[in-house]
Amino acid sequence: MWRPLATTVLGLALLAGCTDDPEPSARTGSPSYATPGSPSDATPTDLASDPPAERAEPFDADAVLADVRRFANRIGPREATSPGFRRAARFVAQRLRSLGYDVGRTRVPVPAGDSWGVPVDAGTSYNVIADPPGFDATKPYRIVGAHLDSVAVSPGAEDNASGTSVLLELARMASEQPPDVPTRLIAFGAEEPRGESDDLHHFGSRQYVRRMSGPARRNLDGMVALDRVGVRAPAVPICTGGPNGSGLRREVERTARAARVPHATCDDNRASDHWSFEKAGLPAIRLGSVPYAGYHSAQDRPHYVDDREVRRVGRIMWRWLRSP
């Protein structure tokens, strides 16, 4: 049976994995950094295309951290087919409905396997999908996603209550000031692996992409996966799994420069839900993936999630959502 590498080895090997990369060829290269004050930080084009002043209440990092504590401490481990996952899915759906979104849930069959050293049975997980009123996938739209599950042993504060909680805060802001480009929000089920191969990973997002209609594929302006976005780092990782995300990554890099947020780029990052979209030829990227000692362990607690880091991610994402 497949067994994971030791956490200490993973901390050195992973710049960009929510999970260990299932393909030997899929390794993250050295990131290139952009910091505030660099010559490329704010070009005239960046400044000319700035969105209008914010009308929504500012990004609330304290609310994000409160939700991280709820997921990690009150709900706990959220293996994809477990009661904990179902409680988390109900909470996310209720929060999004309370913000005025049209919320649906799709079943995701998941096979038996190995959840980072713990044997797990086959079962059912869920994608929670939230649309703003009047959403129409036959017109240009965007997707922001975050996986809701954790590995079996982990309370999953950083991986991935951090991404899910940022998604919920962006949902609150977008409900107050709807973006010009409508945005679908998805809490994916069963992102975490149940074995070594790519076929045993990303079950919720793979199913979602398989079911996308032709018009929905053609009108997708971009998909961003928020996955492990809370560990304090010199820069926010902006990553792709292959060439299909490169244009969107450049767009989000420009957004980060205009927002004066330090950021790093990485390639061949295939360890989150963006990869399901990229494999289908759709524009998608991932934000997040800084190594940390509690990765995929019972020690993945809220203290790993830093208010400054989630605020940086929020600044990038809110500016991108408000851009044409």
Strand runs labelled E in the chain: 32-34, 102-110, 113-115, 118-120, 123-131, 141-147, 183-188, 220-226, 236-239, 263-266, 284-287
pLDDT tens for the chain, 324 residues long, are: 343 433 333 333 334 344 433 322 232 333 443 333 232 222 222 323 344 445 778 999 999 999 999 999 999 999 999 999 999 999 999 999 999 999 999 999 999 999 999 999 999 999 999 999 999 999 999 999 999 999 999 999 999 999 999 999 999 999 999 999 999 999 999 999 999 999 999 999 999 999 999 999 999 999 999 999 999 999 999 999 999 999 999 999 999 999 999 999 999 999 999 999 999 999 999 999 999 999 999 999 999 999 999 999 999 999 999 998
Whole-angstrom Cα distance, residue 267 to residue 316?
19
Question: At 95, phi and psi to the nearest 5?
Answer: -60, -45
Q: What is the DSSP pairing of strand 236-239 with strand 263-266?
A: parallel
Angle of helix 83-98 relative to helix 162-176, nearest 10 degrees, comes to 20
Strand residue runs (E) in 116-219: 118-120, 123-131, 141-147, 183-188
Closest CA to 315 of 169, 175, 181, 106: 169
Cα Rg of the chain, angstroms: 18
Domains and CATH numbers, the chain: 7-322 (3.40.630.10)
CA 188-203-299 angle, 5° bins: 65
Residue 184: closest CA among 203, 201, 171? 171
